[in-house]
Structure 1
Amino acid sequence: MWSKTLDHLLTHLFRQGRLRVTFPDGTTRSYGPGDGLECAVALHHPALPRRIVLSPDMGVGEGYMDGTLTIEDDDVYGFLSLAIQNIAAQGQPWFRRPLETLRRLKRRFDQFNPVQRARTNVAHHYDLSGELYDLFLDEDRNYSCAYFARPDMTLEEAQAAKKQHIARKLLIEPGMRVLDIGCGWGGMGITLARDFGAEVVGVTLSREQHEMANARAARAGLSDKVRFELMDYRDVQGEFDRIVSIGMFEHVGVPHYDAYFSSVTRLLKPEGIALIHTIGRAGPPGTTSPWILKYIFPGGYCPAMSEAVAAVERQGLVTTDVEVWRLHYAETLKEWRKRFEANIDRVRALYDERFCRMWRYYLIASELTFRLNNQVVFQFQMTPKQDAVPLTRDYLYRDEADSEGRGAAA
């Protein structure tokens, strides 16, 4: 029964390229007209057709991790390119729509992130071995979208350009107090203290990040200018000239958007400026892949612009600039994937083959979602006071060459 239902699902989905599937009973069927990408997969466990029909993301992801689903030549990139293109074009067949409705109904539970649950979710991903991140990130450990201002930029150059671009949006001046919500391993905070003379407080729920960020600040001789606290954003006290948050809003969850932007309003001075950098979706609100929720980012969700901006409006903040980065994250993930694959033997020594397959699948699926399914990055600039920032965007590009030179030299 389930093999027949899976056959109906694949017949509905694949209208471009060709997918050849070998079912657990040994029969092979082809789907699609064969006018583009071609790929072959084999299902080696009788439960797989049922699991894929009920949850394609989970069934395929777990099957690949466990080796019960194999892809010819291990061409994960080709297989996911073919699948994502077709799923984005066709949507779900009628018999899967009730299951998708159930996913939507439970999304608020999936995104419910009180402080203790948020801490556990962060530890799941960010408290992995520090050596893992050294194997694929840039030297500054920026684990967020880089800014490829020129197509020939290296990953290091593009990450430096990202930080400079954000600093310009924040209009940083020496002596300003800056709060970095979700500070990662300290790259942005250290840059603002070292290059712009800011006094920075960074907060994170990751013990690994907290320890390393403070150690990096000490090595840079900046412990008097920047400090990092193991703290939830909801517990921060004080008043700041600027607030920056890069790649953290994806972990907040829609039920907490009002609390998040209420915290921004409470902590920001009346003429202060905040810059929120987050992955988002170009379409309407949706749900997170159940495989991503279970294995990669528990509690995570990438918002539609309508969800984020509505919460900003409810908290009395003025949105003064919205910038949409489209394929920059696809290029960032490509660089991470290349470095990860080049170091995969070292990853295997840290963990095991299943982890390597999981992480590679995550990096490839993420890259292709940006390339093929309208996932983007939003940068929201906001302030309590309408004229706190210049009335045109010229200031962002003034002396840009000088700023890039300063970042590269640093």
Structure 2
Amino acid sequence: MSIDLTLSTPATIDARRWPDVAQVPDGPFSKVSGAIADRLFRRAAARLPIRVVYPDGTVIGAADPTLPTMVVHRPEVMARRVGRYGLIGFGESYMAGDWSSTDIAGLLTEFGKRLTELIPPVLQRFRPLAVVRQPRSQHNSRKQARRNIAEHYDLSNALFAEFLDETMTYSSALFDTRPADESALAEAQRRKIDRLLDTAGVGLGSKVLEIGTGWGELCIRAAARGARVHSITLSSEQQRLARQRVTQAGLADRVEIELCDYRDVDGSYDAVLSVEMIEAVGYRFWPMYFQTLDRLVAPGGRVAIQAITMPHDRMLASRNTYTWIQKYIFPGGLLPSTEAIIGATESNTRLRTVDVVSLRQDYAETLRIWRERFVQRRDAVADLGFDEVFHRMWELYLAYSEAGFRSGYLDVYQWTFAPTGRRQWNS
């Protein structure tokens, strides 16, 4: 396999749009921390089944050329970014073209499998001093939550249409076979939605609340069963397209899609559904989120969510940390752990688990298909006004997410609750 060692960097980086990508850390501290980061990175890479190739011909790692290969085009610049800003710097280094890979998802999967082992224990003690703290401006108050959601979901409906399937569903599918075929994605998304509707008991005459509309596929499938659906979103772009799709399906008389914060909803519903929305709620607001679900579900009803999770110890360690994903992809977000979900429901609500199933491998396949489509449609994305730095950013985001599920670092569950317990808090 031939490796392209030419400098891989966008022709221009718009410093107004990407100030921290355009600016390389400088000064004595950046040089020293960069040198330390370089030594640690090379040490870590040598222990993994990957190859790292440098411009001077140095190759670190296994000799097998078929293994995932990372090509470092600007070693000192990458090291300074990582030394100064950790994983944020690593991501910004990819956005700037300081490094590339022949198999970015495979490379990040190997890093993900050994994530907790790559930094020596003696240095892990200093983690609280080195990480970047999450800005308070991203905390999900009602006003800020709408800004945070808009920053991602209001980018462009046309952008999402380039890599999503015809259902415009932006969450894990549920495949009947793996590895998944791209042509099976739309049906797998419908299968995922139908399973969630089934576990929530949605049928003729059901009164349904959906928290987080997406682009309307769940609304359509629930209404087609004869349910009446109240769906809420904070994305004006999603609301607009979801309403169009519901109308085109001839179901507008059964579906209301409202621009509304989940905390402001009133009423009583037979089924309360929320697909991959808890990740945007924020650590401080998880108890309120579940209390709201508990308040809105009728006696005898069901709450069904789809939630991405991370290990509990990593969640606790990173809950106040500012990450690359928060800075560039999902401001204000944090993945919960299964322990956090159980703790929040059992301590604060009547909600008790009645069904739970993992879709981890399905999400890895879903993300692979999205990433491959996104890369194939590079020119179409550029025609929408998104530059090369944005393209690298989103390719890294999709690959990073895929790697998280393939490595087992991340999981995703369809989780169904019934209001059968007793609250442990005073309402």
Aligned to 1:32: 61
Deviations 1:358-393 (A, max 9, x none): 11111111111110143110222111137xxxxxxx
Change (3 A) 1:317 1:105: farther
After the TM superposition, which residues 366-377 of structure 1 pair with which residues of structure 2 at under 5 Å, given as runs? 366-377=401-412
Contact 1:71 1:79 in 2 (8 A): no
- Aligned residue type for 1:319: T
- Aligned residue type for 2:307: T
How far apart are the structure 2 equivalents of 1:375 and 1:62? 22
Aligned to 1:326: 360
Answering whether residue 197 of structure 2 is matched by residue 167 of structure 1, we say: yes
- Aligned residue type for 1:219: Q
- Aligned residue type for 1:323: V
Aligned to 1:137: 164
- Aligned residue type for 2:146: R
Aligned to 1:344: 378
> Residue 269 of structure 1: which of 275, 298, 306 is its match?
298
Structure 1, unpaired ranges of 5+: 387-410
Q: How far is 1:204 from its partner?
A: 0.3
Structure 2, unpaired ranges of 5+: 1-31, 422-427
Superposition RMSD in Å: 2.5
> Residue 144 of structure 2: which of 117, 124, 134 is its match?
117
Deviations 1:272-293 (A, max 9, x none): 1000111112553423771111
- Say which SS state the counterpart of residue 417 (structure 2) adopts: strand
Aligned to 1:358: 393
- Aligned residue type for 1:122: I
Q: How far is 1:94 from its partner?
A: 4.1
Aligned to 2:4: none
* Percent identity over paired residues: 36
Work out the number of aligned pairs and report it. Answer: 379
- Say which SS state the counterpart of residue 173 (structure 2) adopts: coil
How far apart are the structure 2 equivalents of 1:362 and 1:65? 11
TM-score normalised over the length of structure 1: 0.85
Aligned to 1:10: 41
How far apart are the structure 2 equivalents of 1:289 and 1:13? 23
Q: How far is 1:98 from its partner?
A: 4.5
Aligned to 1:205: 234
> Residue 281 of structure 1: which of 299, 304, 310 is its match?
310
> Residue 220 of structure 1: which of 230, 240, 249 is its match?
249
Contact 2:81 2:92 in 1 (8 A): no
- Aligned residue type for 1:6: A
How far apart are the structure 1 equivalents of 2:75 and 2:118? 26
- Say which SS state the counterpart of residue 135 (structure 1) adopts: helix
Q: How far is 1:27 from its partner?
A: 5.4
How far apart are the structure 2 equivalents of 1:30 and 1:95? 27
Aligned to 2:340: 307
How far apart are the structure 2 equivalents of 1:91 and 1:45? 19
Aligned to 2:420: 385
Deviations 1:65-100 (A, max 9, x none): 122x1326x543344344334435x24224642553
Contact 2:68 2:104 in 1 (8 A): no
Aligned to 1:396: none
